Amino acid sequence: MKPLDAHTLEFGSLGDERGQLISLETVAQIPFQINRVYFIYANRDGVRRGFHAHRKLKQVAVCVNGACKFDLFDGVEKKTINLDLPTKGLYIGNVIWREIYDFSPNCVLMVIASEIYDETDYIRDYEQFMELARRFNS
């Protein structure tokens, strides 16, 4: 059985007397070629997002401001990750169901992606996800 393909990453901050700066580069900090970046912010109170997996896409999520939580499930193993620091990233491999919740009012969630946007890469149907996950993750 494969372990759940998601883990946290620790980013070094280049701080000086003026403040902090974090640089994220392909390979050095991000374990794939970066092809897209998007931001999620101004979420309504109590909202949950995600509810899908990806066939091919790999991503790194970072709360550059505020905090939120990720529930991850590969069809066998579950993990909950609390993102609450700009120095903490979450790498998520493919065929992993994700739900994102507990967004703080000031949360800005930056997501770095390995591919450009492609709706056909999404598995939004839970039964379809479970069927693929059984083959892919066990």
* Residues acting as catalytic residues: 52
Which residues are CB-neighbours of 67 under 8 A, at least 6 positions away?
A: 82, 83, 84, 102, 103, 104, 107
Closest distance of CB 122 from ligand T46, Å: 7
C-alpha span between 60 and 48 (Å, rounded): 19
Task: Tell me if 38 contacts ligand T46 by CB under 6 A.
Answer: yes
Give the long-range contacts of residues 130-134, CB within 8 A, separation 24 or more: 130/75, 132/53, 132/55, 132/95, 133/53, 133/74, 133/75, 133/76, 133/95, 133/97, 134/75
Nearer to ligand T46 by Cβ, of 15 and 118: the residue is 118
Task: Tell me if 126 contacts ligand T46 by CB under 6 A.
Answer: no
Task: Tell me if 49 contacts ligand T46 by CB under 6 A.
Answer: yes
Task: Tell me if 130 contacts ligand T46 by CB under 6 A.
Answer: no
Task: Tell me if 79 contacts ligand T46 by CB under 6 A.
Answer: no
Place of tokens 């993102």: 83
Task: Tell me if 59 contacts ligand T46 by CB under 6 A.
Answer: yes
Q: Which of residues 81-120 bind ligand T46 (CB under 6 A)?
A: 98, 100, 111, 117
- Among the listed residues 50, 77, 86, 132, the single contact to ligand T46 using CB under 6 A: 50
